Amino acid sequence: MTREFIFKANKTITSPEINLKDLPGSCGRLDLVCRCISDSLFLSHDIRRDTIFYSILCGPPNPPVCIKFVGSELKKVSPDERNIAIFIKKALKKFLDSKNKEEWIESTPGIYVRKIGFKDLVMEKIREGKNIYYLHKEGKPIEEVSIEKPVFILGDHIGLLEEDESFLKDKAIKVSVSPLELHANHCIVIVHNVLDKRGIGDDPNYSYSDR
């Protein structure tokens, strides 16, 4: 079963003019996006081939832009923030140069980019038959929730906007991984841990070094 994550980055830059020396500041917390990508996809010397990560970038100058990382297809990507930021930079450059921005554009193996917003992507996942789980500290403990065909929703340091939460109200199951406010990438690690213990996912013996 594929695990999918949708992360809304409210201020993250949508231009390839990324300053690799200042991911938190001038890039609108691109550092947080990179950490979430790393923690969603990478194990120690392995990669999770059963995971897909979407980041909706909503910062200037061309919002929204969605970047998709497909674990089973990734090649030559390392888990460190700078390396991931370089691949995001390549994807945004590919997006800028593309004529058809409404369809997924492959930038490098396993990394795709497209013009689609948060609500439209969620609705697309619902039409695919996926179940939407909104990670929120006031939700039901994830250990008590049956997880099937999951798409997990996360906000950045700002969180989801009021209009986003209103949109999700009748579409998502609100689940909690902690009674405390955690960093989004830590929430991803906990979700993976819960599902790993349940044996939910693809072959755990898959090795990233084989790709």
pLDDT at 183 over 70: yes
**Strand segments (E) across 142-193:** 150-155, 172-176
pLDDT of residue 208: 34
pLDDT of residue 209: 37
pLDDT at 210 over 90: no
Q: Residues marked as binding?
A: 135, 155, 177-182, 187
pLDDT of residue 60: 96
Min mean pLDDT across 13-27, 60-74, 187-201 is at: 187-201
pLDDT of residue 134: 98
Between residues 211 and 200, the one the model is more confident about: 200
Angle at 166 between CA 58 and CA 150, to 5 degrees: 75
Give which of 65, 89, 92, 90 is closest to 10, Cα–Cα: 65
Look over the chain and give the mean of its residue pLDDT values, rounded to a whole number.
93
Q: Residues marked as binding for S-adenosyl-L-methionine?
A: 135, 155, 177-182, 187
Fold of 3-210: Alpha/beta knot (3.40.1280)
Domains of the chain, residue spans: 3-210
pLDDT at 45 over 60: yes
What pLDDT band is residue 15 in, cutting at 50, 70 and 90?
very high
What pLDDT band is residue 200 in, cutting at 50, 70 and 90?
low
pLDDT at 203 over 70: no
Average pLDDT over residues 98-102: 92
pLDDT at 63 over 60: yes
Average pLDDT over residues 140-150: 96
pLDDT of residue 199: 86
For the whole model, what pTM was predicted? Answer: 0.93
* Cβ atoms of residues 107 and 96 within 8 Å: no
* Cβ atoms of residues 33 and 79 within 8 Å: no
Percent of the chain with pLDDT over 70: 94
